[in-house]
Amino acid sequence: MRIEDVIGSAISRAGVVRVRSALNPFLWCFVWTVAFLIATYFLRDDPTTRYACLGLAALPLLVALAVGVYFALKHPDRLQSEEFVIRQRELQVLYKQGASPEIVDVAREIARTESLPGSPGDGDEP
């Protein structure tokens, strides 16, 4: 397998991320971390540029950590996925309309078969 194939596959898979939360834009900043770590490796002979690249590589980590802690303390619902938030709002609307909050175990329910009007039933002639 060629390196171009590996990079192309990684880029195509990176676009498939479907979880949406407040941290997603900050998690994409880790691409910069990897880029600066690679630059640190190639510029390892000069101590000034090495430490500058290491500092720039640590910056996205610190920003993502700070944003994560902020949202965990101030807005924890924003850290949930978009699907979870939508489902939670649907349930809130159902409860406001008077639905009971009982949990239904679909696996334990007995399947029912119902005949439609005009369809042949048990012993009926078509």
The answer, yes or no, to whether residue 123 has pLDDT greater than 60, is no
The answer, yes or no, to whether residue 126 has pLDDT greater than 70, is no
Q: How far is CA 95 from CA 44, 83, 113, in A?
A: 61, 19, 29
The answer, yes or no, to whether residue 20 has pLDDT greater than 70, is no
Enter the tokens of residue 34.
Answer: 């990897």
User: How confident is the model over 32-90, as pLDDT tens digits?
Assistant: 888 888 988 888 888 898 899 889 889 988 888 888 888 889 888 777 777 777 888 88
Q: How far is CA 117 from CA 4, 111, 114, 125, in A?
A: 62, 19, 10, 13
* pLDDT score, position 117: 60
Domain ranges of the chain: 3-99
- Sign of the alpha-carbon dihedral angle for 66, 72, 74, 76: positive
Enter the tokens of residue 112.
Answer: 């029912």
